[in-house]
Amino acid sequence: MSAVDTPLDKVPRPRPAGPGRKPRRFGGAALPWTLLAPTIGVLLLVLGYPLVRLVTLSFKQYGQAELWQGLPGDWQGVANYTHVLGDPVFWGVVLRTLLFTLAAVLLTLVAGMGVALLMQRVSTWVKALINIVLVASWAMPVVVAITIFKWMFDSDYGVLNWLLSRLPGADFSGHNWFTDTKQGFLVITLMVVWGAIPFVAITLHAGLTQVPKELEEAARMDGAGPVKVFRHVTLPVLKPIIVMLTTLSVIWDMGVFPQVFLMRDGHPEPAYQVLTTYSYDQAFVANDYDAGAAIAVVTVLLLLGVMAVYMRQMLKIGEVE
């Protein structure tokens, strides 16, 4: 009896192999599901249950009293949502989050593409240097990056104020970057983009090496300038990567938390709140867990479309394999 037959014998209802399908070596569904069981169990416990809890919580009344006495909380329908969605402060937070995400994602992708194109054109030693610097800034833990940027932008001893003050006619000594929210978000965006460029640049650079040289050559022969070659040859080939990087960046940048939270020393002012910190504040500072949950649900809903695009792209690749 060969190894091929054994599992089939044990399975009560062997599935007929469809026409054109390879004969199934490891027949039966019992074994794979057994292997999957621990993962599914753990994920249901640590992710599935909290996710259900998040949604139910957003339809309940749940504050400090319920938390301390271990009460389940009373249902109150969509009251949390009407309250949150009717609050102009919330819409201000949404707008701020979307603007920040848009700016950060755009900057990351444009700068990342620039660096990737540059890496193709520089000498080998410059390319090696760029690689080292990119990987080092990529690997820096976010909390470390935050402390570095806080130090560089410090109002009294920050190196940036010193540097800018060297410019003719500029005096930045003692300039506080966080008094004005616009400047504050500029610093936060710069930090996020600095940390995000390496992944984008290195991935795009790897993608650029896949663009067939003959295609670019042919376009050039036909009289296309560098801009046209990029627009009509390089970009279309890179499109799947760009879609992937854009969706990932949107998900990551909309989910920034420590970048805002720690930059403002754990107490972001109202003008600095983004969706994640706002939800956190509602729950753990104002002890309004139900409202925090409703805000978190809205955040996830806002992201769903972007997630769907990413998943579709990943599955397309999965089918090719």
Partner 1 sequence: MLDTAPAERTPAAAPAARALRRPRRKGRTVYNLLGLLVVVVSGFPVYWMLNTAFKPAKDAIDPDPKFFPTSLSFQNFSDALDVGDFWGSVGRSLIVSGATVGLGLVIGLLAALAISRFVFRGRKAVIVAILAVQMVPLVAMIIPVFLLLNQIDQIDKLTGLIVTYLTFVLPFTVWTLRGFIVNIPKELEESAMVDGCTRMGAFFRIILPLLAPGLVATSIYALIQAWNEYLYAMLIMSQENQTATVWLGNFVTSRGTDYAPMMAGSTMMGVPVVVFFLIVQRRVAAGLTAGAVKG
Contacts with partner 1: how many residues (CB under 8 A)?
A: 114
Question: Among residue numbers 75 through 94, which ones bind partner 1 (CB under 8 A)?
Answer: none
The nearest distance, CB 201 to partner 1, in angstroms, is 9
Give the span between the Cα atoms of 103 and 105, in whole angstroms.
Answer: 6
End-to-end CA distance of the chain: 32
Give the span between the Cα atoms of 213 and 88, in whole angstroms.
Answer: 54
Contacts of 154 (CB under 8 A, 6+ apart): 161
Question: Among residue numbers 253 through 272, which ones bind partner 1 (CB under 8 A)?
Answer: 254-255, 257-258, 261-262, 265-266
46 lies in the site for partner 1, by CB under 8 A:
yes
Question: Among residue numbers 218 through 237, which ones bind partner 1 (CB under 8 A)?
Answer: 221, 237
DSSP class per residue in 72-112: --EE-TTHHHHHHHT-HHHHHHHHHHHHHHHHHHHHHHHHH
145 lies in the site for partner 1, by CB under 8 A:
yes
Give the span between the Cα atoms of 146 and 268, in whole angstroms.
Answer: 14
- The number of beta carbons lying within 10 Å of the beta carbon of residue 234 is 19
316 lies in the site for partner 1, by CB under 8 A:
yes
Give the span between the Cα atoms of 302 and 293, in whole angstroms.
Answer: 14
The nearest distance, CB 188 to partner 1, in angstroms, is 14
Give the span between the Cα atoms of 233 and 261, in whole angstroms.
Answer: 42
The nearest distance, CB 237 to partner 1, in angstroms, is 7
Q: Which of 95, 99, 102, 143 binds partner 1 (CB under 8 A)?
A: 143
Site string for partner 1, 15-44 (x = CB under 8 A): x--------xxx-xx-xxx-xx-xxx-xx-
47 lies in the site for partner 1, by CB under 8 A:
yes
**Tokens 């995400």 sit at which residue?**
101
70 lies in the site for partner 1, by CB under 8 A:
yes
276 lies in the site for partner 1, by CB under 8 A:
yes
300 lies in the site for partner 1, by CB under 8 A:
yes
Q: Which of 8, 79, 103, 142 binds partner 1 (CB under 8 A)?
A: 142
